[in-house]
Amino acid sequence: MSDTLLERLKALHPQSIDLSLGRIERLLAALGSPQDKLPPVVHVAGTNGKGSTLAFLRAIAESMGKGAHVYTSPHLVDFHERIVLAGPHGAAPISEEVLVDCLARAEAANSGELITLFEITTAAAFLAFAEAPADLLLLETGLGGRLDATNMVDKPLLTIITPISIDHVSFLGETLAEIAGEKAGILKPGVPCIVGRQEAEAFEVIARRAEQVGAPLHVFGRDFDTFEQQGRLVFQTASRLLDLPLPRLAGRHQIDNAGTAIAAASVAFGEALTQRALEDGITNAHWPARLERLSVGGLHAYAAEGTEIWLDGGHNEAGGQAVADTLAALDERVPRPVHVVWGMMETKDAQRFIAPFKGLVERVYTVPIPGEPNAFAAEPLAEIARAEGFDAVAVNSVPEALLRSASGGEPPRVLICGSLYLAGHVLKLHA
């Protein structure tokens, strides 16, 4: 029933994205301002690492016995994933009954006025979060920050800005400074902000905005640092040195994300935060389709025996670089042929995404993304890869790509990547 309701709500605005706060302000007022009745909010903006940082923070909070609501987007397989509610038996995606109730109330309050799907579902999520007890709400922006529908919380507990890179240029601007200006729109007077690793151009904008609004900053590389040393994660401030296990989530970038989450937890929980909670949190955090190794079964039926299948939803230049760096490190330790199965939305810069994989990849198989009219067709994407010097073959599907990858000698390491929409499709196939 929620699928039917969501389809109906899509028709309330002809554009999927139209950044503005006027419509969400009107709707929330009609709903009795649920944004003012939320648990303490951690509001997160950034280009890359938002979901992973929140996954670490959620796991740390839960290891302390705290209940956390979570709002993220987009979903991978099912819309309910976007709204996670804390409960007496642990957090879980919103039930169909509660989702339909909240969406129906938001629809009735909206009275047929112009509103985007993200705005009305954010309003419905605020209703659900306001009416279910929790110690914390981990709230991820949908796009940008300044004009994002989530930016309706006047006094969050703290904010986080994860690494900013070029993405969504048609909505946020073409330079790092312009994009950072939109992300920094979540800063609030007197509310601490944890700033993840940033390019200098982006950080200058954040620092200037923080000074304007009076938001104290805790900055990666200045106020805290985190790095790998002898197979351990080291977190360091001027007064504290923590020796922790490496994150469960793979990749050097996840060490940065874990460090940002530890800094946020330190501010949010203060003296109550224990070493044990941090150890449990960073080793138990789970965030699907972020350099996730797919277990045997499902898609492995199409691959040669012994093939490694990895899945990542990164879709911009920085995401491509992070995954390529991890592949390179993995290849140094356990070398084997690397094949990439690649699908991507036409709104993304495909050339910049694939370029970091040069020298690492034996072959690229390009695939369409089923059900996504704005995705690249396989052949044009293969042409982009060939222009970058890759041996690229256009195929019709992920299973076909895996079958073709099995035709060589040594079982390969296969990375399926380029889009969260592709990742969601793959997880359905693998289930």
DSSP calls for 300-327? GGGS-TT-EEEE----SHHHHHHHHHHH
Q: Are 349 and 213 contained in the same domain?
A: no
pLDDT of res. 299? 95
CATH code assigned at 35: 3.40.1190.10
Location of structure tokens 């874990």: 258
| Cα first-last separation, the chain | 23
Q: Are 53 and 198 contained in the same domain?
A: yes
Q: Are 144 and 173 contained in the same domain?
A: yes
Query: Across the strands, what pairs with 375?
Result: 345
pLDDT of res. 301? 94
Q: Are 31 and 78 contained in the same domain?
A: yes
- DSSP-derived secondary structure letter, 345: B
Collect all residues with Cβ–Cβ distance below 8 Å to 299 and sequence separation of at least 6: 309, 398, 399, 402, 426, 429, 430
Q: Are 203 and 183 contained in the same domain?
A: yes
Q: Are 199 and 269 contained in the same domain?
A: yes
Q: Of 284, 306, 331, which closes a domain?
A: 284
Q: Are 68 and 159 contained in the same domain?
A: yes
Collect all residues with Cβ–Cβ distance below 8 Å to 51 and sequence separation of at least 6: 72, 140, 287, 290
Distance between CA atoms of 332 and 334, rounded to whole angstroms? 6
CA atoms within 13 A on the CB side of 415: 29
Distance between CA atoms of 125 and 72, rounded to whole angstroms? 10
The number of folded domains in the chain is 2
pLDDT of res. 409? 76
Q: Are 98 and 201 contained in the same domain?
A: yes
Q: Are 130 and 264 contained in the same domain?
A: yes
Q: Are 302 and 270 contained in the same domain?
A: no
DSSP calls for 37-54? SPSSEEEEE-SSSHHHHH
Burial class (CB in 10 A: 0-12, 13-18, 19+), 334: exposed
Distance between CA atoms of 203 and 176, rounded to whole angstroms? 9
Location of structure tokens 């299948």: 309
pLDDT of res. 250? 87
Distance between CA atoms of 405 and 366, rounded to whole angstroms? 12
CA atoms within 13 A on the CB side of 47: 31
Location of structure tokens 């109730």: 101
The pLDDT tens digits for 34-71 are 999 999 999 999 999 999 999 999 999 999 999 999 99
Distance between CA atoms of 330 and 333, rounded to whole angstroms? 5
- DSSP-derived secondary structure letter, 79: G
Q: Of 229, 256, 284, which closes a domain?
A: 284
Distance between CA atoms of 415 and 341, rounded to whole angstroms? 6
Location of structure tokens 């993220």: 72
For the chain, list residues with pLDDT below 50: none
The pLDDT tens digits for 310-320 are 999 988 888 89
Residue 395 lies in domain: 292-430
Q: Are 269 and 359 contained in the same domain?
A: no
Query: Across the strands, what pairs with 235?
Result: 226, 242
Q: Of 252, 284, 316, which closes a domain?
A: 284
Q: Are 215 and 345 contained in the same domain?
A: no
pLDDT of res. 86? 97
- Give all strands of the β-sheet with 241-245 in edge-to-edge order: 225-229, 232-236, 241-245
pLDDT of res. 171? 62
Q: Read off the pTM.
A: 0.91
Q: Three-state DSSP class for 18?
A: coil
CATH code assigned at 318: 3.90.190.20
